[in-house]
Amino acid sequence: MNETKPVDTGPWAPFRHRAFAFLWVATVISNIGTWMHDVGAGWLMTELSPSPLVVSLVQAATTLPVFLFAIFAGALADLMDRRKLLISINLVMAGLASALSAMVYLQLVTPSILILFTFLMGTCAALMAPAWQAIVPGLVDKPRLGAAIALNSMGINVSRAIGPALAGFLIVSAGLVSPFALNALSFLGILGVLFFWKPQENVQTMPRERMTGAMRAGLRYVFNSPPVIATLIRAVAFFLFASAYWAMLPLIARNMLAGGAQLYGILLASVGTGAVAGAIVLPKIKARLGPDKTVMAGTTGTALVMLSFALVQHPVVAVMASFIAGASWIAVLSSLNVSTQTALPDWVRARGLSVFLTLFFGSMSAGSVAWGWLAEQFSIEMALLTAGVGAIILMIATMRIRLNQGADLDLSPSMHWPEPILSESAEQDRGPVMIRISYRINSKDHETFQQLMTEMRKARQRHGAYHWGLHQDSTDHDLFVETWSEGSWIEHLRHHKRVSGADRDIQEKVNRLHLGETNPKVDHLIAVK
């Protein structure tokens, strides 16, 4: 008897997939350049303006574009060829980085110009982010998805460990222009890999959605998905307060520790090193603690780091605290990302991730400005203390909201709905469409039926249903009629293609309660022109 060989799900297993390995290496190189840019921009702003609020605006300008454009970017990534989208945006970013490095060399940069370029590059990053994250499940098999996401997060932090330290050394030895120039060159590697990468193409069997409709569909799915909602609440509770040390780190190095660009680079490198170490041990930690306790441990670590920055102002302590900050950050971010990924089917993955990114970076932006304002009004120490205490309070308040609720759901298309039969061909944009389903339920099963229909309502609404209702016959109390509407005939056909295995499970439970030799009767009613 042949035994199935267990799938290697260790922390390095995704590197067995060649496409993932090449893209990972190229992304790390590109991110090293990005982190060098961030260190250069943060340090340059401390020279151009010593105001804590203005310095924190550099961090806000990096994160705000994701909050503003991620929903659009998610729809774009689900509708377009993701490879072509990534190539186009990386070319634009390379041009922006080259222009900024030239302006730094010519000493033409002002605080406003620096914030503008940071915002533009942040916008490009926002347009890419959902596409980058959405391609990961296509690069590895499902058992290795968690490890692949952790490796991607680790890659960001490998670059964070190298980029800041290298930038700090170059600023001192070669001048402030060097990190900006090397960032421009770092895009060559990722562009080369993207040009030669040939992903498997998805065959389109239906017309593409319009952009506005696709954005609505993504938002509709997310806000009717309890597993995604739970993850988003936990994410906001963490990122709003964790943003404090990211926004304050240049000022911690310069003002509180009386250091220079090298110390700032060392602090960021320590954060990156901690994140790499955290990513290596994270699978074992999550196996022991589970995702919820892992996030709680990471939040506690982040809060303690901010408290130590505020209370013990010594370079060695700050470097050690930064290491813990990196390990805590990777534990929380990876857990939240996996929880989001596993709750989303492929057809809406980029759009769902874009909502996660919107709240992630929106919380980081709002937090950066808030902590910068608080530091300006009172002190940096007060801002860090407040953020540390707030993180603990919100962690306790949200600890009952579970992560990874979608991990065991079958979200792949089940194709169990038969194609609707029409007496004549309907125009695809004709609508709205009303769907009516009649059920006959024994009186003893009424309560169970209505509980299942509450789940069914969410399933319908995730796929575009509105005006959903459940009605009981006034004379025959065992007869129930479910109704809902969808925008057009083509939207209803998309619903047929997207209904998932998890939706089928709910429907089968309902059908087992139905009295009759056949399944419940379904009617499709199209609005008269």
Q: What's the pLDDT band for 479 if we cut at 50, 70, 90?
A: very high
Give the model's pLDDT for residue 434.
Answer: 92
Q: Pick from 57, 125, 132: which is nearest to 93 by CA? A: 125
Q: For residue 488, what are the domain limits?
A: 433-526
Does residue 368 share a domain with residue 296?
A: yes
Does residue 475 share a domain with residue 377?
A: no
Does residue 468 share a domain with residue 387?
A: no
Give the model's pLDDT for residue 1.
Answer: 42
Does residue 376 share a domain with residue 227?
A: yes
Q: Please tell me whether the peptide bond between 520 and the residue prior to it is cis, using omega within 30 degrees of 0.
A: no
Does residue 439 share a domain with residue 390?
A: no
Residue that is last in its domain, among 344, 376, 398: 398
Q: Is residue 132 part of a domain?
A: yes
Residue 194: CA count within 13 A, CB half-sphere: 22
Instruction: Check whether 420 has a pLDDT greater than 80.
Output: no
Does residue 322 share a domain with residue 242?
A: yes
Does residue 329 share a domain with residue 266?
A: yes
Residue 213: CA count within 13 A, CB half-sphere: 14
Does residue 365 share a domain with residue 460?
A: no
CATH classification of the domain holding 513: 3.30.70.100
Q: Who has greater pLDDT, 491 or 204?
A: 491
Instruction: Check whether 507 has a pLDDT greater than 60.
Output: yes
Q: Is residue 1 part of a domain?
A: no
CA distance 166 to 94: 20
Give the model's pLDDT for residue 2.
Answer: 47
Does residue 521 share a domain with residue 386?
A: no
Amino acid at 79: L
Tens of pLDDT along 140-151?
A: 776 677 677 777
Q: How many domains does the chain have?
A: 2
Q: Is residue 85 part of a domain?
A: yes
Element (H, E) at 516: none
Tens of pLDDT along 150-159?
A: 777 777 767 7
Q: Is residue 428 part of a domain?
A: no
Q: Is residue 24 part of a domain?
A: yes
Does residue 319 share a domain with residue 464?
A: no
Q: What's the pLDDT band for 204 if we cut at 50, 70, 90?
A: low
Q: Is residue 316 part of a domain?
A: yes
Does residue 244 share a domain with residue 114?
A: yes
CATH classification of the domain holding 172: 1.20.1250.20
Could you tell me the pTM of the whole model? Answer: 0.73
Give the model's pLDDT for residue 422.
Answer: 58
Q: Is residue 441 part of a domain?
A: yes
Q: Who has greater pLDDT, 294 or 163?
A: 294
Tens of pLDDT along 30-81?
A: 888 887 887 788 777 777 776 666 766 776 777 778 777 878 888 888 777 7
Give the model's pLDDT for residue 518.
Answer: 79
For residue 238, what are its two tokens? Answer: 């963490």
Q: Who has greater pLDDT, 371 or 393?
A: 393
CB atoms within 10 A of CB 346: 15
Does residue 291 share a domain with residue 181?
A: yes
